[in-house]
Structure 1
Amino acid sequence: MAQTEFTQFDDRELAHLCAAIDYLFGKGGVLARNVVSKGLGEPSFPYDANNPYIRVSGVRKPGK
């Protein structure tokens, strides 16, 4: 199954997905600004397979 997934992997689709995320949530995001930022490719926290959720800081309420 993994071999099939990697042989059918499309780099352009991944690039479009990343561009869309940056457009919506990046520095000048249309939907929400500064939710995500470019990184160095290394996670800033250890990955736990038993708890795959990523904790993010709270979102400020408008006007505060």
Structure 2
Amino acid sequence: MVYRPSAGFPSSEKYGMTVQARRSVCSIAANIAEGAARHGGRVFIRFLGIASGSLAETEPI
């Protein structure tokens, strides 16, 4: 869902904002999965916080 909107970014941002937006979206799911795999409530909550930060990076898109 992020690839289509980020494809419209200026070409000067090809290696800047475009890459960062795409990586942060992938990071959301990765952090949730990693936190869930670690069998501890506090650790999972910490990873959810990290995922939330990545989501905040992509919210304007």
Q: TM-score range by the shorter chain?
A: 0.3 to 0.5
Q: TM-score, length-normalised on structure 1?
A: 0.32
Structure with the higher helix share, 1 or 2: 2
Higher RCO by CA contacts (8 Å cutoff, separation 6 or greater): 2
Max Rg structure: 1
Q: TM-score, length-normalised on structure 2?
A: 0.33
